[in-house]
Amino acid sequence: MRTAISPLALRQPRSLRDALRILRDEGPLTPLAGCTDVYVGLNFGTLRDQRFLNIWGLDDLRGIVVRGDVIRIGALTTFAGIIRSPLVRRRLPMLAAASCEIGAVQIQNRGTLGGNIANGSPAGDTLPVLAVAEALVELRSIDWTRKVPFVDFYTGYRASVRRPDEIITAVEFPRVEGVQWFRKVGTRAAQSISKVVMAGVRSERPRIAFGSVAPTVVRVRRTEAALASGATLAEAQGILQEEISPIDDIRSSAFYRRHVAARLLAQFWAEG
């Protein structure tokens, strides 16, 4: 293990209320759910946090329920739990599709939806899905509960409106009208951080979001509006290039990402 663990501290809450109280009184503490990126960051030096709060045991934050038109997924629901859910497969197939392409079985059994959001990677595979589904993120502190539209959640690279004394407790999905679409482009069919990832909903009001092409997940609203108003695909692809800002990095180049994003848009718009 390349990181010394002796300087690390882990608080063990007895309940969700206890966890929220500890966050308020003993912060800053980083909540730990499935931990699939924690030791990676600690070893690589990108995660400098040393004080952690173990929320893995808070079963209140698990479960998938439907209330009328709204599907509510607990933040600690794992990707395996999402994939197994008949409700999700029927009503949010793009979320199941994204979950299937995260890591591999071992990662899917531990990684959680709340963790994917909180980690805030620009390449997070569920994030474009949440953006086009127009999901709501439920945040709780000891004193309040609030729901933030997912599209307003991030304020910058790995930065969000989540306060240090808040935990993501659930994600709520309204009924999705239209055909759901998801593609992830990477080096292999598993265990790959994407070069480009895209989710879309095809309808009279198309919704399209990309990951790995900007510091955060990006809803390409001008591209959506162009397609909705009858622009040609070429015109929409041109507008798309103005709405994304990919970089060269270890996984891909800006040039390749722009090329692939345009092709994904074409596939999405042509299928149907």
Partner 1 sequence: MSSKYRPIAFVLNAKRTSVRVHPMKRLLDVLREDCGLTGTKEGCGEGECGACTVIVNGQAVNSCLVPVAQVAGAKVMTIEGLKGRHRLQRAFAEFGGAQCGICTPGMILAAVALGPHPTLEQVRTGLAGNICRCTGYEGIYRAIRKSEDRSKKK
Residue 49 interacts with partner 1 (CB under 8 A): yes or no: no
Could you give the string, one character per residue 175-194, with x where binding to partner 1 holds by CB under 8 A and - elsewhere? --------------xxx---
Q: How far is the CB of 200 from partner 1 (least distance, A)?
A: 24
Residue 145, both tokens: 């509960």
Assign residue 68 a region (left: φ > 0; alpha: ψ between -120 and 50; beta: otherwise): left
Any idea which residue has 């503490």 for tokens? 29
Distance CA 215, CA 157 (A): 5
Distance CA 4, CA 178 (A): 50
Residue 32 interacts with partner 1 (CB under 8 A): yes or no: yes
User: How far, in Å, are 8, 171, 195 from residue 148 at the CA level?
Assistant: 31, 10, 28
Residue 30 interacts with partner 1 (CB under 8 A): yes or no: no
Residue 256 interacts with partner 1 (CB under 8 A): yes or no: no
Q: How far is the CB of 26 from partner 1 (least distance, A)?
A: 16
Q: How far is the CB of 54 from partner 1 (least distance, A)?
A: 6
Please say whether the beta carbons of 253 and 195 come within 8 A.
no
Residue 16 interacts with partner 1 (CB under 8 A): yes or no: no
Q: How far is the CB of 135 from partner 1 (least distance, A)?
A: 26
Which residue stretch of 31-39, 154-162, 178-186, 255-263 sits at the interface with partner 1 (rule: CB under 8 A)? Answer: 31-39
Q: How far is the CB of 29 from partner 1 (least distance, A)?
A: 13
Q: Which helix (H) or strand (E) element contains residue 94?
A: helix 93-100
Scanning residues 96 to 135, which ones bind partner 1 (CB under 8 A)? 103-107, 109-110
Which member of 18, 24, 30, 39 binds partner 1 (CB under 8 A)?
Answer: 39
Detail the DSSP E strand segments found in 68-225: 70-74, 136-140, 145-149, 154-156, 159-160, 167-173, 179-185, 196-202, 207-211, 218-219
Residue 21, both tokens: 């109280």
Using CB under 8 A as the criterion, which residues of the chain lie in contact with partner 1 when the complex forms? Answer: 1-2, 5-6, 8, 10, 12, 32, 35-36, 38-40, 43, 52, 54, 56-57, 80, 103-107, 109-110, 189-191
